[in-house]
Amino acid sequence: MLAVIATLNFIINIAWFLVIASAIFSWLYAFNVINVNNNAINMIGRSLYQLTEPLYRPIRRVLPDMGGVDLSPLVVLVILYFIWYLLNTTIAAALLG
């Protein structure tokens, strides 16, 4: 059972870093810090978008329009932290005794 908990922790950590990377990339793109005409940059941006958009989409439906400020990455990070904390404190403690 410890292997399942460790694997879930690993998946949560990957999702955490993907959300942070996506948010940073979107800021760099919005402020024209990166060259958007570069194919490698476009490929990274599309990949991050496709990996994180399924996490953001349900939250964007619920959140009100904030006038250009997207809070969905912050909400996703809070949910990921909650799941990680629940997994490591409550579920792991119950399973491991």
Mind listing the pLDDT tens digit for each residue in 34-73?
988 999 999 999 999 999 999 999 999 999 988 888 999 9
CA 17 to chain centre: 6
Closest CA to 12 of 83, 64, 91, 96: 83
The pTM (predicted TM-score) of the whole model is: 0.90
Residues 79-89, mean pLDDT to the nearest whole number? 96
| Angle (nearest 5°) at CA 74 between 37 and 21 | 35
Other Cβ atoms within 10 Å of 15 Cβ, number: 19
